[in-house]
């Protein structure tokens, strides 16, 4: 292969080759050193190509390198115990370099492209971060450029002029192609059949801290802090006409058992279906709130206070537990459900379980006694406790390491902690004074969506508070956390925050709708589409009774038929106009002769056509001769006909047709 052509191939493939393996570094699919060596070698190949001296390794060197790599591969597999992905990625990196350094034909350039494609495949299939979308976009652009230029190079046998590769593809066509492909890609992605559940689930579901914090059957003070520091999306809540204040507090679980920094639920309460809303379609009149929840651990649902009905989508169900809690049926995938809110009423938590005063640690009970003194009135007792917590304690997401019981340490020594410390301390102190109380966990507030009436709830919005019965009317919500530690109910953003919100929306979309997209989502989508179509059909059938609809339908039919006729007429005219009038007349002559004698060979010369026609129709001799003469003069002599001659030809052809009939 010509050196210039090899240079063109290397320069065409190098940009895509440089970007293709990058995500493997972040997904641990290839070692950083291997990628660095690959990029350096690639840069060297590109530099040599730019200098006009593209590398071309001899076959011997390639074979030796291949053998050496086999040994390295064996060492990597048997001694280093790298995973399969790493070994394969390293092999692909080596192969890509070897191919790019030894392009000898167009076929080898295509092989190099295939190796790069496999690298891209490895990177794409192992990436789960939202930034993968950027990678896909970059690779789409680079691949389009590379393929367009390879398509041109395939027809060159030597180095193309500089301007050739520079001119292909143009920016406008590239943009049109990539945007078109991206638009088409969306329905294809969502329409391709899914036979298995999603392979890669959003990474935050696997994060231990968050999972433990929301395990609901067991929550410890330390992991709750870790969860609050996380920026992961927990759920998205959408409401059409929402009174945000009413639904920003979402209750997930309540706890009554405290021991050594860990809250648990009383075993006897775990499976008591009392007070939970029923899983039924929402009747009209209830205010609907839709929640897309990324499930954690045991799958407890986040519910606003005042829920009367609940409907879980996608064929999943929810099991009612004690105290109005709901647990989703087993499964790791995300869950979408809709809840119906009743009329606004004082906020009360369902259920009656409360902390047993006997289980309150002695130090906390004594501290409560010192705070409350001889006050007996429950609201006043809580007021004193809240006042003390807010005055003497500091809100911190990173409290000092406790010595012994974390809560005792918080109350007596560190006096710094996050919302769960405050809520736990208040609940236990209330219980120690004989007031029914318990710890509630869930979320508070969120970020308003940029393009929808929705709230995105993230790890930072996880919250804990107290449910206590102060006046005998039920468990009301008490929040002893200082205002500084309370997440914002709803946050409207500046431009920068809007950008950040957009990023979060994209991230949520990627996690929920791309990475975790599955057959059930697909089924839901098709059902929605079917309902939409049936709705349209219904509307159309309603229209059919009205005379205006009939008129419109007739109009559309007339327009369609008229349009079709117009297109046919234009096409016929376009084809007919291409043929010069003299040729048209001669063709008519041949057709007449063929009709009379049965067959006229394509080899029959024009003069012979005229002679044979004259023989079969003696009256047609002059006209036939005139047509042939005009045809020969026009077609062979290059003489153009004036309009008078054209009209004369048309007259003669008409006369001939009359004679023939």
Partner 1 sequence: MTRLIPDWEIRITNFGLGYILMCLVVAIAATNTGNNGLYLVLAGMLASMAVSGVLSRRNVRGVSCEIESIGEVVATRPALLRVRLQNTLRTGTAQALFFLHEGLPGPLWVDPLKPGERREIVVEGRFPRRGVVRIPDAGLLSRFPMGLFRKYRRAIAAREIVVYPLPESSRVPEAPPEEARGGRPHAFRRGGGFDIRTLRDFGPGDDPRDMHWKQSARMRRWIVREREAERDRAVVLTVDNALGDPEDPAALDALEHAISRCASQALVLLSRGGEVGFQARGVRVVPQTGRPQRARVLDALARLEAVARDGAPAFPSLRRGDHRVLVT
Name the residues that contact partner 1, by CB under 8 A. Answer: 110, 114, 117, 120-121, 124-128, 132, 136, 140, 144, 147-148, 150-152, 154-157, 160-161, 163-164, 167-170, 172-173, 176-177, 180-186, 188-189, 192-200, 514-518, 601, 603-605, 607-608, 611, 635-636, 638
* Closer residue to partner 1 (CB): 147 or 650: 147
CA 134, 139, 144: angle at the middle one, nearest 5?
A: 135
* Closer residue to partner 1 (CB): 199 or 451: 199
* Closer residue to partner 1 (CB): 451 or 636: 636
Output DSSP code: residue 129: S
* Closer residue to partner 1 (CB): 155 or 240: 155
User: For residues 411 and 413, what is the distance between their CA atoms, to the nearest angstrom?
Assistant: 6
* Closer residue to partner 1 (CB): 163 or 574: 163
CB of 187 to partner 1, least distance (A): 8
Q: Which residue has tokens 């911190």?
A: 396
Distances (CA, A) of 566 to 240, 505, 551, 553, 577: 49, 49, 22, 20, 16
Distances (CA, A) of 191 to 194, 315, 510, 513, 528: 9, 20, 17, 13, 14
C-alpha closest to that of 460 among 470, 471, 439, 446: 446
CB of 608 to partner 1, least distance (A): 4
CB of 520 to partner 1, least distance (A): 12
C-alpha closest to that of 286 among 241, 317, 326: 241
CB of 140 to partner 1, least distance (A): 6
* Closer residue to partner 1 (CB): 43 or 114: 114
CB of 582 to partner 1, least distance (A): 13
* Closer residue to partner 1 (CB): 163 or 658: 163
* Closer residue to partner 1 (CB): 127 or 223: 127
CB of 621 to partner 1, least distance (A): 14
CB of 173 to partner 1, least distance (A): 6
CB of 295 to partner 1, least distance (A): 17
What would the DSSP string read from start to end of 196-234? S--SS--GGGG-HHHHHHT-SSEEEHHHHHHHHH---EE
Q: Which residue has tokens 């210039």?
A: 4
* Closer residue to partner 1 (CB): 185 or 568: 185
Spatial contact of 493 and 501, defined as CB atoms under 8 Å apart? yes
CB of 601 to partner 1, least distance (A): 8
Strand order in the sheet with 303-304: 303-304, 249-255, 437-444, 462-468, 476-478
Sign of CA pseudo-dihedral 20, 23, 29, 33: positive
CA 323, 423, 460: angle at the middle one, nearest 5?
A: 95
* Closer residue to partner 1 (CB): 122 or 219: 122
SS3 490: strand
CB of 192 to partner 1, least distance (A): 6
Tokens of 475: 């468990």
Pairing of strands 462-468, 490-491: unpaired
* Closer residue to partner 1 (CB): 244 or 517: 517
CB of 352 to partner 1, least distance (A): 44
Which residues have CB under 8 Å from 572's CB, separation 6+?
none
User: For residues 445 and 558, what is the distance between their CA atoms, to the nearest angstrom?
Assistant: 58
C-alpha closest to that of 625 among 643, 601, 608, 645: 608
Tokens of 499: 């950008």
Query: How many other C-beta atoms are found inside a 10 Å radius of the C-beta of residue 234?
Result: 27
Which strand (E) or helix (H) includes residue 249? strand 249-255
User: For residues 192 and 582, what is the distance between their CA atoms, to the nearest angstrom?
Assistant: 57
* Closer residue to partner 1 (CB): 124 or 397: 124
* Closer residue to partner 1 (CB): 340 or 516: 516
Query: How many other C-beta atoms are found inside a 10 Å radius of the C-beta of residue 226?
Result: 18
CB of 137 to partner 1, least distance (A): 10
CB of 450 to partner 1, least distance (A): 24
Residue 491: strand pairing partners: 447
C-alpha closest to that of 323 among 280, 272, 279: 272
SS3 content of the chain, % helix, strand, coil (to 5): 60, 15, 30
* Closer residue to partner 1 (CB): 67 or 114: 114
CB of 330 to partner 1, least distance (A): 18
* Closer residue to partner 1 (CB): 125 or 274: 125
C-alpha closest to that of 524 among 341, 532, 183: 532
Spatial contact of 442 and 431, defined as CB atoms under 8 Å apart? no
CB of 80 to partner 1, least distance (A): 25
SS3 340: strand
CB of 119 to partner 1, least distance (A): 12
Tokens of 235: 């759920």
Spatial contact of 233 and 456, defined as CB atoms under 8 Å apart? yes
* Closer residue to partner 1 (CB): 84 or 603: 603
Distances (CA, A) of 79 to 34, 390, 527: 17, 59, 53
């Amino acid at each position: 292969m010509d050196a210039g052509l090899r240079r063109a191939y290397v320069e065409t493939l190098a940009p895509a080759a440089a970007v293709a393996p990058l995500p493997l570094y972040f997904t641990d699919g290839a070692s950083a050193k291997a990628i660095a060596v690959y990029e350096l070698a690639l840069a060297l190949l590109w530099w040599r190509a730019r200098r006009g001296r593209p590398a071309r390794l001899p076959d011997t060197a390639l074979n030796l390198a291949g053998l050496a790599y086999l040994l390295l591969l064996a060492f990597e597999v048997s001694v280093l115990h790298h995973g399969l992905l790493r070994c394969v990625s390293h092999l692909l990196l080596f192969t890509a370099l070897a191919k790019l350094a030894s392009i000898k034909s167009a076929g080898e350039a295509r092989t190099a492209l295939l190796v790069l494609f496999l690298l891209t495949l490895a990177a794409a299939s192992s990436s789960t971060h939202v930034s993968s979308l950027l990678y896909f976009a970059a690779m789409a652009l680079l691949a389009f450029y590379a393929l367009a230029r390879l398509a041109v190079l395939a027809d060159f046998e030597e180095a193309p002029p500089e301007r050739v590769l520079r001119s292909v593809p143009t920016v406008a066509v590239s943009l049109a192609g990539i945007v078109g492909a991206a638009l088409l890609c969306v329905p294809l992605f969502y329409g391709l059949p899914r036979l298995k559940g999603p392979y890669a689930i959003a990474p935050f579901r696997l994060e231990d801290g968050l999972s433990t914090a929301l395990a609901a059957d067991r929550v410890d003070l330390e992991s709750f802090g870790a969860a609050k520091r996380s920026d992961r999306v927990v759920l998205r809540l959408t409401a059409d006409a929402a009174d945000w204040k009413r639904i920003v507090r979402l209750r997930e679980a309540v706890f009554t058992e405290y021991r050594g920094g860990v809250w648990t639920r009383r075993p006897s309460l775990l499976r008591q279906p009392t007070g939970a809303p029923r899983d039924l379609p929402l009747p009209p009149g209830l205010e609907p709130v839709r929640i897309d929840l990324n499930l954690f651990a045991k799958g407890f649902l986040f519910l606003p206070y005042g829920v009367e009905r609940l409907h879980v989508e996608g064929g999943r169900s929810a099991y009612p537990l004690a105290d109005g809690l709901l647990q989703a049926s087993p499964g790791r995938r995300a869950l979408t459900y809709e809840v119906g809110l009743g009329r606004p009423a004082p906020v009360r938590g369902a259920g009656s379980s409360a902390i047993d005063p006997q289980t309150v640690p002695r130090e906390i009970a004594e501290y409560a006694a010192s705070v409350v003194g001889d006050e007996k009135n429950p609201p006043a007792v809580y007021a004193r406790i809240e006042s003390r917590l807010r005055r003497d304690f500091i809100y911190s997401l990173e409290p000092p390491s406790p010595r012994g019981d974390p809560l005792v340490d918080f109350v007596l020594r560190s006096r710094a902690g996050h919302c769960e410390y405050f809520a736990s301390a208040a609940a236990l102190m209330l219980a120690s004074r004989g007031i029914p109380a318990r710890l509630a966990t869930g979320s508070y507030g969120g970020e308003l969506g940029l393009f929808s009436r929705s709230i995105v709830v993230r790890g930072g919005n996880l919250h804990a508070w107290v449910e206590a019965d102060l006046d005998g009317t039920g468990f009301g919500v008490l929040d002893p956390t200082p205002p500084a530690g309370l997440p914002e109910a709803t946050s409207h953003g500046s431009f920068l925050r809007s950008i950040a919100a957009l990023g979060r929306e994209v991230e949520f979309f990627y996690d929920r709708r791309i990475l975790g997209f599955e057959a059930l989502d697909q089924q839901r989508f098709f059902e929605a589409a079917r309902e939409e179509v049936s709705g349209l059909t219904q509307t159309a059938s309603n229209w059919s009774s009205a005379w205006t609809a009939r008129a419109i339908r007739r109009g559309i039919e007339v327009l369609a038929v008229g349009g079709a006729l117009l297109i046919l007429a234009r096409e016929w005219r376009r084809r007919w106009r291409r043929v010069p009038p003299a040729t048209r007349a001669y063709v008519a002559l041949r057709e007449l002769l063929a009709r009379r004698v049965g067959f006229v060979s394509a080899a029959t010369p024009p003069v012979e056509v005229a002679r044979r026609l004259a023989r079969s129709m003696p009256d047609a001799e002059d006209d036939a001769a005139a047509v042939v003469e005009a045809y020969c003069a026009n077609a062979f002599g290059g003489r153009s006909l004036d309009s008078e001659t054209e009209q004369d030809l048309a007259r003669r052809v008409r006369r001939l047709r009359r004679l023939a009939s």
